[in-house]
A and B are shown apart, each in its own frame.
Chain A
């Protein structure tokens, strides 16, 4: 039996899409994921869907985490999923966070966003979700 190959940590691109600059949430989540052993790349503010997908491909990321607080999630989150399809990178998992009403969560999941976290979500819940999606890494 060969020794188990070293597990490559899961790489996550965290991005603020849209025009708003409210970065408290994305920063707190990014730190928590880093502390949980993930490799986190934070892109900064005002990323277009194209820029986010570029970053994810360049960084060889398995996950994209999107944050948005301006109410444009129904336009911009699906736009990231579409861009991944266009670039044939649908293996990258997209999750999102922000002020998102329940009905929108249902609609976004149908459009290919894997999971959405709203204000008040314990950080451990996000970590647990990632562990479940990627039992091998992290």
Chain B
């Protein structure tokens, strides 16, 4: 008698379901974002579509045919603290240790467009980044660092145009032509309204400044990434992976719409749009998110916006490991968390990466912690073999299915945003803000109920937490910075400065591109606060409705 062999899949299902050996500890098996996952994925979960290849539309498997066989990702550690002089020293230290690009963190007064001697700057100077008040500080920041040899990323939004002009003015002084400058300006105001809340002007004039800088750079600084459309802050504010993906890409499309409305051709600016995502702790979900992001962007750029140039279809992104996943408890564990998150970014094909330092949950990183973070990337690049195969998880039943799921969820959000009238009306209706706050609260409740565990926080605690060394900002630096900005004002050619600011005010009332006016004000050593103040006079200030 012949026994028919058991169908392998059916047999597994029976074995799994009848097994007494299954965990029943009440811990969630869905992703950290709440996406249900099955215990096993098989060929049945694979989408039926032609095989995708790296370097080919829709770029799910990567934008380069060579992956990291061509060029490794840029190891770009975000740093900045205290004064320009202190930060300049840290940059030289990082470059000497093999870092391949700079990334400037500004302090809160700089991010909010005010000078160090403004009353509300008290206690904030140099704490979460470097204090920059005028071109004089920017000259110090890049002293001895040739801008022709490095690329620089600047994380700044409402005052982004001013800081870019300061960088351009430093390049002028170093004799480096604008056309050769490489770098990235965050310049993403929409996610400020949505998540990080460092807005100053209302949405409309804010968007004008963004489009002005994109338009100006398309002509004058063609190798500059004019915007880094950021999901990072959306995720850190508590969104799910799919919300991060959807809201970020929706923002991207809103910028494309605004530039097209200005009269620009998509292919003249789209290749200089870049993205910035979070690498959170849920390993496979993150990889799926990165892969889905490329596929969605390529489709929308080609099909909705009619971009012809392949470079316009390719979503390039920077990644930072999740600050919010770090714990103050047993902080050394953050090294392990960061390594796993960084690995997901690499397997997801990131173009550049920042790895957090273990002590960033407590303060800005010490030299030692910053070096370990950078070494973690070097270890992934050179020891693990992860960079040797392009999109190594392509074809994984699970990762492919999850990539499709991310895409599906994002498309649902695009429809909802469109129904609300687009990104800006949705911001004004607090749509994003509420969605994010709901997700953050849901996650916190899961922690409280121990349906999710965070090692060292709600399980596996220790009684004697060891203190780790942290970086302290000397209060003396605050006073020195205040003196410095006052000295700049006393020393400069006041007539040139006044004229530049008055020209800027006039231009702001009209329709001219404001970049040349801001650049002239910067060259005249107008301070950041003075330039912003001039624009606030014309544009006004934005306040948001506070929703819990």
Contact = CB atoms under 8 A, between A and B. Distances in A.
A18 B444 CA distance: 25
Interface residues of B, number: 44
Nearest to B125: A72
B328 A71 contact: no
Given A70-B128, A120-B457, A21 B197 contact: yes
B444 A48 contact: no
B161 to A, nearest CB: 20
Interface string B432-453: 0000110011001001100000
Given A19-B112, A24-B440, A43-B546, A122 B448 contact: yes
B444 A28 contact: yes
Nearest to B239: A24
A118 B456 CA distance: 14
Nearest to A119: B328
B361 interface: yes
Interface string B527-548: 0000000000000000110101
Contacts of B494: none
B548 A30 contact: yes
Contacts of B544: 44-45
A104 to B, nearest CB: 10
Contacts of B150: none
B361 A18 contact: no
A31 interface: yes
A20 interface: yes
A24 B120 contact: no
Interface residues of A, number: 35
A34 B548 CA distance: 10
Q: Is the interface of A mostly helix, strand, loop or mixed?
A: loop
B232 to A, nearest CB: 12
B329 interface: yes
A57 interface: no
Contacts of A31: 437, 441, 548
A99 B127 contact: no
A99 B111 CA distance: 19
A19 to B, nearest CB: 4
Interface of B: 108-109, 111-112, 120-124, 127-128, 192, 196-199, 236-238, 324, 327-329, 361-364, 436-437, 440-441, 444, 447-448, 454, 457-458, 467, 470, 473, 543-544, 546, 548
30 contacts: A18-B123, A19-B109, A19-B112, A19-B120, A21-B196, A23-B197, A23-B237, A24-B237, A24-B437, A27-B440, A28-B437, A30-B548, A46-B120, A48-B120, A70-B108, A71-B127, A71-B364, A71-B473, A72-B124, A75-B123, A99-B361, A101-B363, A101-B470, A102-B467, A119-B327, A119-B328, A120-B327, A120-B457, A122-B447, A124-B448
Shortest Cβ-Cβ A-B pairs, 5 listed: A75-B123, A21-B197, A71-B127, A44-B546, A72-B123
Interface of A: 18-24, 27-28, 30-32, 34, 40, 42-46, 48, 70-72, 74-76, 99, 101-102, 118-120, 122-124
